[in-house]
């Protein structure tokens, strides 16, 4: 039924939550007081809240609460996904992607104008093309086989 969660999914979620708890505990032990007041204290608190909400969610599921009611804690899963954003900052493998993203952010005004020019060119081409089709249909002979197809595709325009 809709209320049941597959057992394999529950075991995967439990395993990942155990790994997240282990990682969080190791970081608390390694950083000690710096965990709460260090340079990355916001990320640390976010991780702690996400892990706590995940544990609450698992506890509610284990306690027999319906998954429909537990879905209100779905925010925890979304917040857990935000941890991936930290990888962009920390991992050197994605430095080129990070550089490209920063470049795109800094050239937004030029990109908007480039899009405006592109849309203007597309619009002008559409007007010229429609004018050419209109002239072709008005100058074509009644037996022209192309006129019927053009009227099917462009008939609503005039």
Q: How far apart are CA 16 and CA 8, in angstroms?
A: 12
Task: Name the one residue in this structure whose structure tokens are 């007007």.
Answer: 127
* Rg of the chain taking only CA atoms, in angstroms: 29
Apex 6 CA angle, 4 and 12, nearest 5: 130
> How much is the pTM?
0.46
pLDDT attached to residue 8 = 85
| Tokens found for residue 12 | 């995967």
Summarised one tens digit per residue, pLDDT across range 27-69 is 999 988 888 898 888 888 888 888 888 888 888 777 777 766 6
Under 8 Å between Cβ of 13 and 58: yes
Summarised one tens digit per residue, pLDDT across range 77-123 is 676 666 666 666 666 777 777 788 889 889 999 999 999 999 999 99
Q: From the CB of residue 59, how many other CB atoms can be counted at a distance below 10 Å?
A: 11
């Amino acid at each position: 039924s809709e209320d049941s969660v597959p057992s394999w999914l529950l075991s995967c979620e439990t395993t990942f939550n155990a790994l997240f708890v282990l990682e969080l505990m190791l970081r608390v032990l390694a950083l000690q007081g710096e965990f709460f007041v260090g340079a990355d204290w916001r990320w640390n608190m976010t991780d702690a809240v996400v892990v706590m909400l995940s544990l609450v969610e698992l506890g509610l599921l284990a306690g027999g609460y319906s998954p429909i009611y537990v879905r209100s804690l779905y925010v925890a899963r979304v917040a857990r996904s935000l941890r991936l954003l930290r990888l962009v900052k920390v991992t050197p493998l994605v430095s080129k992607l990070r550089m490209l993203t920063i470049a795109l952010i800094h050239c937004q005004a030029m990109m908007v104008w480039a899009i405006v020019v592109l849309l203007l060119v597309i619009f002008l081409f559409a007007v010229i093309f429609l004018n050419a089709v209109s002239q072709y249909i008005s100058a074509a002979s009644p037996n022209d086989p192309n006129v019927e197809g053009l009227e099917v595709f462009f008939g609503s325009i005039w």
